[in-house]
Amino acid sequence: MYIPQHYKNENIGEVKEFIINNSFGILINHQDGKPWATHIPLELDKDISGNDILYGHIAKANPQWKYFVENEEVLCIFNGPHSYVSSSWYGEEEVPTWNYIAVHVYGKLKIQDEKALMASLHKLVDKHEQLSENPISLNNMSKNTLQQVKGIIGFEIEICEIQAAYKLSQGRPHDHPKIIQELEKRDAAGGHEIAEAMKINTNKELRK
């Protein structure tokens, strides 16, 4: 994706943490020459060789999987918070804009066998059940219930490239206090998270 240099986040550890915390992504490949996208959990992990991967699954009823080609490059998109930024919050006249965090991951896909799929499902459920008051486990489910696994296709994506855009008004540091104040006053979706991201980014810049 197009990212002006001052909006690029090249701190790979921070970007990986973002993917872990925003793992409901979009998987994109091509079907008969047309882009096809599915919104699904895409979890960051490592394979047995220590390479960074994403793993996920889709329903067999979804025709996207029929166009999975071994080692074909696919695109995964992870969206974070975003918010409109009014130029009335600036100290001088300017057009308004939009602040956001987004990550694109390119990688080569391969279909999992049943054993690898089940291992992925266990990790997925265990991760997201951690905060449940009464966490469930696939280990405690009946064979009849787990038959539903027959209706999905699991896959792994070996990561080739990560692109991260953190557009947080970096070009207007003198206006940050006012922008943050206004974002925190509003109830608009994502505003508070963007304000917090701006504070974190400002503190990182000050420590350099």
Is residue 69 over pLDDT 90? no
Tell me, what's the pLDDT at 66? Answer: 92
The arithmetic mean of pLDDT across residues 151-176, rounded, is: 96
Q: Domain coordinates of the chain in residue numbers? A: 5-207
Exposure string for 100-129, b = 16+ CB within 10 A, e = fewer: bbbbbbebbbbebeeebbeebbeebeeeee
Q: How far apart are CA 138 and CA 123, in angstroms?
A: 10
Is residue 166 over pLDDT 90? yes
Spatial neighbors of 9 by CB under 8 A, at least 6 apart, are 15, 164, 165, 166
Tell me, what's the pLDDT at 122? Answer: 96
Share of the chain above pLDDT 90, in %: 90
pLDDT confidence tier of residue 154, bands split at 50, 70 and 90: very high
Tell me, what's the pLDDT at 44? Answer: 98
Spatial neighbors of 25 by CB under 8 A, at least 6 apart, are 19, 39, 40, 41, 42, 54, 76, 77, 78, 79, 105
The arithmetic mean of pLDDT across residues 178-200, rounded, is: 93
Q: Please answer whether residues 143 and 151 qualify as being in contact, where contact means their C-beta atoms are separated by less than 8 angstroms.
A: no
CATH code linked to domain 5-207: 2.30.110.10
Q: How far apart are CA 95 and CA 17, in angstroms?
A: 32
Q: Please answer whether residues 190 and 83 qualify as being in contact, where contact means their C-beta atoms are separated by less than 8 angstroms.
A: yes
Q: Which residue, 88, 80, 101, is CA-closest to 186?
A: 88
